[in-house]
């Protein structure tokens, strides 16, 4: 069932026609822009134009004051039936592979840090890194994806490319500091910090096995010939791929390389808003390998990542493991 998140209409009216002998007649036009999300298409944007332009099977007609312009369309002549059928099937296979790959899009989530015992309640020499989970946000813009299918769309090896931002919002009123040997926290009585966060930014690459349950048949040579001859498009509809009711699961590793880090603080002093930024590395490990799981139904997708590498460089800080959970809010395919 289609679920619309946002639907609105923009009404655009034609401007008066210029004084020319064959200028288009002024009509009441209405253009509808629909934004939403459903289980088949994911997030979508559609523009539908309703005017005096007439459409018929295989034709596109525009009426002016004194003329009617008709554009007739028909299937392109095949240079070679064998090659053309192979090309159609190849295009359909690519469309199906893109439809049933769930990496590209925008992921949002929250971060936490756990200690050596697997607890998020940090104590001892790690207490200064205790974070506010609700405000420690994760954002990833996954721009590219590629999947090698193992002879079927049900199973494949997924990879891609993304751009990630990892934020750790410190809960305690401390200032982070570091030297050549270690990173540590300095307790502060004043000022009371309104914002106290550590951020990493980098690129990420997944390597995951992906599984899909939805059946999505490919047309045979005979089906392609039938589609070409069928003016009702009934045959083509049988091979129209949809994510609806598809359960998907991906498991593997996501590797990240962080090329930028920043420590930022905000506070109020003498009635004025003040802030400080530092671009030091704070002895953070510049790379990460994380075990990752992505699963969902239809266009919806949840993910979780458990880091296999520590937050700080070895011996330079407390043994902390980053963990991220979240969801895909927009899919690009």
Residues of the chain with pLDDT under 70: 1-59, 73-80
pLDDT at 76: 64
pLDDT at 37: 61
Q: In a 10 Å sphere around its CB, with 0-12 CB exposed, 13-18 middle and 19+ buried, how is residue 246 labelled? A: buried
Count of alpha carbons within 13 angstroms of residue 179, beta-carbon side: 2
pLDDT at 160: 97
Roughly how many angstroms between the first and final C-alpha of the chain, as a whole number? 19
Q: In a 10 Å sphere around its CB, with 0-12 CB exposed, 13-18 middle and 19+ buried, how is residue 321 labelled? A: middle
pLDDT at 91: 87
pLDDT at 224: 84
Measured distance CA(72)–CA(231) in Å, rounded: 14
Measured distance CA(256)–CA(289) in Å, rounded: 6
Tokens of 220: 């045979």
Measured distance CA(294)–CA(323) in Å, rounded: 14
Tokens of 306: 């458990």
pLDDT at 84: 83
Q: Is the separation of the CB atoms in 155 and 208 below 8 Å?
A: no
- Model pLDDT for residues 192-210, shown as the tens digit of each residue: 999 999 999 999 999 999 9
């Amino acid at each position: 069932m289609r679920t619309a998140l946002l639907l609105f209409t923009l009404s655009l009216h034609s401007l008066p026609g210029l004084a020319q002998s064959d200028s288009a007649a002024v009509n009441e036009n209405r253009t509808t822009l629909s934004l939403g999300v459903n289980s088949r298409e994911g997030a979508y944007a559609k523009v539908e134009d309703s005017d005096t332009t007439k459409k018929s099977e295989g034709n596109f007609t525009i009426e002016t004051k004194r003329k009617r312009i008709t554009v007739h369309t028909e299937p392109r002549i095949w240079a070679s039936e064998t090659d053309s059928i192979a090309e159609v099937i190849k295009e359909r296979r690519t469309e199906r592979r893109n439809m049933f790959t769930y990496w590209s899009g925008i992921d949002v989530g929250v971060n936490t840090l756990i200690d050596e015992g697997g607890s998020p309640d940090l104590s001892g020499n790690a207490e200064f890194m205790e974070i506010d989970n609700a405000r420690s946000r994760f954002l990833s813009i996954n721009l590219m994806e590629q999947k090698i299918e193992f002879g079927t769309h049900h199973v494949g090896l997924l990879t891609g490319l993304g751009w990630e931002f990892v934020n750790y919002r410190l809960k305690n009123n401390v200032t982070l500091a570091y030297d050549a040997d270690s990173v540590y926290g300095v307790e502060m009585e004043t000022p009371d910090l309104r914002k106290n966060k550590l951020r990493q930014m980098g690129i990420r690459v997944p390597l995951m096995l992906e599984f899909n349950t939805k059946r999505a048949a490919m047309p045979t040579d005979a089906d392609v010939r039938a589609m070409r001859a069928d003016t009702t498009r009934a045959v083509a509809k049988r091979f129209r791929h949809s994510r609806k009711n598809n359960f998907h699961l991906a498991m593997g590793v996501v590797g990240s390389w962080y090329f930028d880090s920043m420590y930022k603080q905000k506070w109020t002093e003498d009635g004025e808003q003040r802030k400080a930024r530092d671009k030091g590395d704070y002895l953070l490990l510049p790379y990460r390998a994380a075990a990752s799981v992505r699963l969902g139904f239809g266009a919806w997708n949840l993910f979780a990542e458990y880091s296999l590498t520590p937050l700080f460089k070895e011996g330079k800080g407390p043994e902390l493991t980053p963990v991220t959970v979240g969801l895909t809010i927009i899919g690009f395919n």
